[in-house]
Amino acid sequence: MTPVEPIAAYGVVLTPVTTDDLALLRQWRNRPDISAQMLDQRQITEADQQRWYERVQPDASQQHFVIRYKNDAVGACNLKQPEGQPVSGSAVLESGFYLADPRFRGSMLAFFPALALNQFCFKTLGCTTLLAHVKLDNSAALRFNQQLGYQSTVQREFSTAAGPVVLQQMQLDLAGFTAATSRFARFTR
């Protein structure tokens, strides 16, 4: 289930998605610069968005957040348990992340929401392994995850409406997270 309290760390707040966020999330998700990195690149209708929310809201195997910086919504992130088990108490989780506000892409601030989410996973949820799946042509996301301590593991093929897509699986453990956090420490004080 969605945590009761928002996640606040590194100067950002990750707030659980509510119905009030759906229009903004759909607007972001339908932008070509964001949808191009998704497995499903189709335009999302208002009805699609509502069905998605009704499906994920009670699902304990995933949590979805809006990223806020200085009270402004700037992106979205999520956690999923790959085998459909509850997020809480799971050793392995998968994270997803995008910044909708282009001012933050490529800046130091881009790392803070990911660090906050990763810290929540390792320190609060007790997760031991975080996974990320990145499209092979998304070199910025591959570098971003490497800077966060993720290591490339295997490539996986996923079926989509547009055909097969190969994703690079990346993995982060507590040691990698701790090392990455120490590299970013001077920026988070």
Give a yes or no: residue 21 inside a domain: yes
Q: How far apart are the first and last CA of the chain?
A: 31
Domain count, the chain: 1
Q: 120-161 pLDDT, tens per residue? A: 999 999 999 999 999 888 898 999 999 999 999 999 888 887
Nearest to 96 by CA among 62, 50, 58, 120: 62
Nearest to 6 by CA among 89, 87, 63: 63
CB contact at 8 A, 154 and 171: no
Mean pLDDT value across residues 83-103: 93
pLDDT of res. 142: 93
Give a yes or no: residue 45 inside a domain: yes
Give a yes or no: residue 126 inside a domain: yes
Give a yes or no: residue 109 inside a domain: yes
Give a yes or no: residue 74 inside a domain: yes
Residue 2's pLDDT band (cuts 50, 70, 90): very low
Q: 33-44 pLDDT, tens per residue? A: 888 888 788 899
Give a yes or no: residue 27 inside a domain: yes
The CATH number of residue 21's host domain is 3.40.630.30
In this predicted structure, the answer to whether residue 4 has a pLDDT above a threshold of 70 is no
Give a yes or no: residue 149 inside a domain: yes
Q: Which domain holds residue 73?
A: 7-187
**Does 158 or 52 have the greater pLDDT score?**
52
Give a yes or no: residue 2 inside a domain: no
Q: 103 — phi, psi (to 5°)?
A: -65, -25
In this predicted structure, the answer to whether residue 27 has a pLDDT above a threshold of 80 is yes
